[in-house]
Chain A
């Protein structure tokens, strides 16, 4: 078989971390290789080195036998490497055609030739079986299509190797299936595919080979036929992992959170949540399934008092919660694990200790008459770091020094170590390593078992299915169905998430 990409003995250090430690791997023509690993394992660094975005310390990278200079993106592209980034690099207000041709526009003399560009995009999309409307504006399109545009952008340059960085993080189950099909077709046409993921299901479904990284080192290579999901998880984490959450039956009690006829607008002034009603009981986990952008963010923010409700009421244990007053809602016993921990959940330049009391720094015993008590804070922080297994040399370190999983543990520790009636957990394990996911799931279940109502909002269907006692599917700002968690059918929910009622 023809070797397309060959990486040998590649190492790269960042201050204090060895991101890649003597890694060797190869990708053959027409082969799909999955690069599996936890957050911070060094997957992104490795592919960025291949694409020339990161300059390795040592080691060689060859493409089709030719050695590639360090940190030279142009060389990587001219050798036929294309990359689709985790965060799309699209201009939202431009059309599909404009986005695809951006950077290398067809022109007549000094004038842009839109007609030729449009024709080129249509042909490109036909050739690869990736259907797009060349005239749609990107921001109006679903995420799955946006990703398709990214792939087309990469394919336009006649590539031999396609790198996909966490391509499925934001897709619906159906969109994921489509993407996997696209990957198979590309491989069949001879393109080598290297894709980063931490989702085991996809690896099993599509990869020819799997390469596992842990703490910057290559810890194993295998094929899906030689192993199973449990085996992969174990390689990834380095110990046994329980993928299934261990939980007893729910003992649902009184209603602790009720939302009545609530309407909420998004930041652009469009209605995001429409006439929404919901009841959450003590001692249950109610999962809200749905593709991102169907009003979940606005729903969560409105419940927690962070976003204005146009109409409707929210009651916590029968008491009406105020609109636009997060502090008061929190005092009523509502904990909130926010969707975007970097933006909302943490102050990166504050210490772990300050982050652990971020929403109670003004309360006794952390402050008396407006003067803060650092001794109490430090003792509390020390206790939580221990209890929640936050991996850090000291609670005085900045939150920004933590890995994604440990950052999330800080948020979870803060939110679940308080008197609470309701836990609103939005995407609680997004971008979090397998070991931390297990831990956070157990914490949510134990919050349920101590009598709190847990509202779990997640775009990860697996997470919803494994944790929820009841499942509500949200689409277009409304709940389209409520099902029991026991024996829920993933395909059926997937269709509901995509807005299909049949």
Chain B
């Protein structure tokens, strides 16, 4: 039992190492030095104070989006639509942040974030409702909702929510009272994200609601047999996943940008998928992965300036990590006792 857990935990480490090794070959093939590139990555991502602050700020956001995906996965739902939910939450929180005046910080920030979470929950919950009532697969509906949400926030930012005095498309700045403060330059969002991870972990470990969601995730028929409303759990799972994604967007606006531009939010929702899978859908285990990816993202531009390597290398590395973390053959290779990869199928019961 113990042995199996350590072997399982090896998979993410192995995926990262293999990805870095392949990355090194590609860097060398382009005539650059892999050693120098990875040195820059480590220094800029983790060693320098400014680098670490940027890394943790990004890591906080990534932990949150990883949690959004994790909650879905635990309930047996693959929420590909975190991206759309992040966008809706970000715009909603930004709007509250610049539109409402005269609130003290300790009210303004929670209200803005809560509104972001609510909008994310509505988008996610809608996909859940479609699945529960009409049997629409959440992967299909959330992919479509991603495009729909991208179009809606784009439209709103260009029209109603636009800061007219600026030539480029953006919203007005959030008021100072809605901006998440930094503590000695370190991001508060990271702390919030870790607390949320602990809370989510507690929900799944200790509460009946968590148990219901997880039972539906593991065996829908048995859940229904045991009296758990599968439909309710599907809607709730998507609602919670969407709420966390919306909160992620709000946090990003409030802590990092301070205003909304649709293109700011690039791959937050999709990075969350990588992180959740890397952490095997365990709310605590996603934290190291988020810090790692946060570091890679914050050193992305330094790689270009200081090592001359295209910043796309980071995207490539992340794609490789995702590939290996989910590719069953690597996992099997590590898990199997014998030299051969073949596993016997179905002996007795």
Asked if A58 is at the interface (CB within 8 A of a chain B CB), the reply is: no
Are A336 and B225 interface neighbours, CB within 8 A? yes
Q: How far is the CA of A39 from the CA of B337 in the complex (A)?
A: 26
- List the B side residues contacting A354 at CB < 8 Å: 211
- The answer to the question of A327 belonging to the interface, with a C-beta cut-off of 8 Å to chain B, is yes
B227 at interface (Cβ–Cβ under 8 A)? Answer: yes
Proximity string of chain A (273-306) to chain B, C-beta cutoff 8 Å, 1 when within and 0 when not:
0000000000000000000000000000000101
> With an 8 A cutoff between CB atoms, is B221 at the interface?
yes
Give Cα A372 to B218, complex, Å: 19
Q: Could you tell me if B227 and A327 are in contact, using CB atoms closer than 8 angstroms? A: yes
Which of B209, B228, B342, B345 gathers the greatest number of chain A CB atoms within 10 Å?
Answer: B228
* Pairwise interchain contact A346-B222, C-beta atoms closer than 8 A: yes
Contact A343 B348 (CB under 8 A): no
Q: Which residues of B contact A343 (CB under 8 A)?
A: 219, 221-222
Contact with B along A346-362 (1 / 0, CB 8 A): 11111000100011011
A14 to B270, CA, bound (A): 40
Q: Which chain B residue lies CB-closest to A325?
A: B227
B206, A371: Cβ atoms closer than 8 Å: yes
- Stretch of A40-48, A107-115, A146-154, A488-496 contacting B (4+ beta carbons < 8 Å): A40-48
Contact B208 A345 (CB under 8 A): no
By a CB distance below 8 angstroms, the chain A residues around B337 are 15
Query: CB-CB < 8 A to B218: which residues of A?
Result: 347-350
A344 adjacent to chain B (CB < 8 Å): yes
Q: Are A372 and B222 in contact (CB under 8 A)?
A: no
Decide yes or no whether B347 CB sits under 8 A from chain A: yes
A328 / chain B contacts, CB cutoff of 8 Å = 227
Checking B206, B222, B227, B349 against A347 with a beta-carbon cut-off of 8 angstroms, the contacting residue is B222
A54 partner residues in chain B, CB cutoff 8 A? 344, 347
Q: Once the chains bind, are A39 and B349 in contact (CB under 8 Å)? A: yes
CB B238 to nearest CB in A, in angstroms, measures 20
Report if B207 contacts A (CB, 8 A): yes
- Is A55's CB within 8 Å of the partner chain B? yes
Q: Is A404 an interface residue (CB 8 A)?
A: yes
Once bound together, how far apart are the Cα atoms of A328 and B349, in whole Å?
32
B215 within 8 A of A: yes
B199 at the interface (CB under 8 A from A): no
Contacts of B206 in A (CB 8 A): 371-372
Q: Chain B contact residues (Cβ within 8 angstroms of A): what range? A: 20 to 34
Are A361 and B208 neighbours in the complex by a CB distance under 8 Å?
Answer: yes
Check if A330 sits within 8 Å of B227, measured CB to CB: yes
The answer for the CA separation of A350 and B208 in the assembled complex, in Å, is 14
Contact, CB under 8 Å: B344 / A14 = yes
Closest Cβ of chain B to A344, distance in Å, is 4
Contact present for A431 and B349 (CB under 8 Å)? yes
What's the minimum C-beta distance from A194 to chain B, rounded to whole angstroms? 17
What's the least CB distance linking B316 to chain A, in Å?
34
Residues on A with beta carbons closer than 8 Å to the beta carbon of B219:
343, 346-349
Count residues of A near B (Cβ-Cβ below 8 Å). 45
Contact (Cβ within 8 A) B225 A362: no
| Docked pose: A359 CA to B345 CA in angstroms | 31
In the complex, what's the smallest C-beta–C-beta distance from B228 to chain A, in angstroms? Answer: 7
Q: A403: CB under 8 A from chain B? A: yes
Q: Does A180 contact B (CB under 8 A)?
A: no
Interface check A338, CB cutoff 8 A: yes
A19 at the interface (CB under 8 A from B): yes
Please give, as numbers and ranges, the residues of chain B lying within 8 Å of A326 by CB-CB distance.
Answer: 224-227
B47 smallest CB distance to A (angstroms): 41
Q: Mask for A9-48, Cβ within 8 A of B = 1, else 0? A: 0000011010100000000000000000001111011000
Out of B208, B209, B222, B229, which one reaches A344, CB within 8 Å? B222
Complex: how many Å from CA A295 to CA B188?
A: 60
Q: Binary interface profile of B, 317-349, with partner A (CB < 8 Å = 1, else 0)?
A: 000000000000000000001000010110111
Q: Which of B208, B209, B347 contacts A14 (CB 8 A)?
A: B347
Mark B218-241 against chain A: 1 for CB-CB distance below 8 A, else 0.
110111111111000000000000
Most buried by A among B208, B215, B219, B225: B225
User: Any chain B CB within 8 A of the CB of A487?
Assistant: no
Q: What's the least CB distance linking B22 to chain A, in Å?
A: 32
| A370: interface (CB < 8 Å) | yes
**How far is B215's CA from A348's CA once the two chains are assembled, in angstroms?**
10
Contacts of A347 in B (CB 8 A): 215, 218-219, 222-223
Pair A45/B348 contact, Cβ less than 8 Å: yes
Assembled-state Cα–Cα distance A349/B218 (Å): 7
Confirm or deny: A182 has a beta carbon within 8 angstroms of a beta carbon on chain B. Answer: no
**Among candidates B224, B344, B348, B349, residue contacting A55 with C-beta atoms closer than 8 Å:** B344
Of the candidates A328, A347, A354, A372, the one having the most CB atoms from chain B within 10 angstroms of its own CB is A347
| A366 nearest CB neighbor, chain B only | B208
Residues on A with C-beta less than 8 A from B227 are 325-328, 330, 359
Partner of B347, one of A19, A304, A336, A367: A19
A340 and B224 CA atoms in complex are apart in Å by: 13
* Contacting pair B225 A371 (CB below 8 A): no
CA distance A53 to B343 in the complex (A): 11
Q: How far is the CA of A350 from the CA of B204 in the complex (A)?
A: 13
A326-B226, A327-B227, A350-B218 in contact; A19/B348 too (CB < 8 A)?
yes
Kindly report which residue of chain B lies nearest to residue A326, judged by CB atoms. B227
CB-contact partner of B211 in A44, A53, A361, under 8 A: A361
Provide the bound-state CA to CA distance between A370 and B208, in Å.
5
Which residues on the A side are within 8 Å of B212 (C-beta)? 362
Select from chain A the residue with minimum beta-carbon distance to B223: A347
Contact (Cβ within 8 A) A40 B211: no
> Closest CB-CB distance, A55 to chain B, in whole Å?
7
Indicate which residue in B207, B208, B209, B222 contacts A358 across the interface (CB closer than 8 Å).
Answer: B222
Q: Is the CB–CB distance between B349 and A338 below 8 Å?
A: no
Residues on the B chain within 8 Å of A397, using CB: 1
List residues of chain B with CB within 8 A of the CB of A359: 225-227
Which residue of chain B has the shortest Cβ distance to A327 in the bound complex? B227
Distance, CA A367 to CA B211, complexed state (A): 11
B207, A370: Cβ atoms under 8 Å?
Answer: yes
Q: With A and B bound together, what is the CA distance between A40 and B349 in angstroms?
A: 6
Distance A330 CA – B226 CA, assembled complex (angstroms):
9
- B residues less than 8 Å from A371 (CB atoms): 206-208
Residue ID in chain A nearest B227 by CB atoms: A327
Cα distance A286–B342 in the bound complex, in angstroms: 48
Complexed CA–CA distance, A431 and B349 (Å):
9
Given A370-B209, A372-B206, decide whether A306 and B228 contact each other with a Cβ distance below 8 A.
no
CB distance from A73 to the nearest CB of B (A): 13
In Å, the complex CA distance between A54 and B342 comes to: 11
Q: Which residues of A contact B209 (CB under 8 A)?
A: 370
The interface residues of chain A lying within 8 Å CB-to-CB of B344 are 14, 54-55
Q: Whole-angstrom distance from the CB of A108 to the nearest CB of chain B?
A: 37
Contacts of B228 in A (CB 8 A): 327
Seed contacts A326-B227, A346-B219; 14 additional CB < 8 Å A-B pairs? A19-B347, A42-B348, A44-B347, A45-B348, A327-B227, A340-B221, A347-B215, A347-B222, A348-B218, A361-B208, A362-B208, A362-B212, A370-B207, A431-B349
Which 7 A-B pairs rank lowest in CB-CB distance, beginning with the nearest? A327-B227, A359-B226, A344-B225, A404-B349, A358-B226, A362-B208, A326-B227
A–B complex contacts, Cβ < 8 Å, 30 sampled: A15-B337, A19-B347, A40-B348, A41-B348, A42-B348, A55-B342, A55-B344, A304-B225, A326-B227, A327-B227, A327-B229, A328-B227, A336-B225, A340-B221, A343-B221, A345-B225, A346-B219, A347-B218, A347-B223, A348-B219, A349-B219, A358-B222, A359-B227, A370-B207, A370-B208, A370-B209, A371-B208, A372-B208, A404-B349, A431-B349
Which residues of A come within 8 Å of B, CB atoms? Answer: 14-15, 17, 19, 39-42, 44-45, 53-55, 304, 306, 325-328, 330, 336, 338, 340, 343-350, 354, 358-359, 361-362, 367, 370-372, 397, 403-404, 407, 431
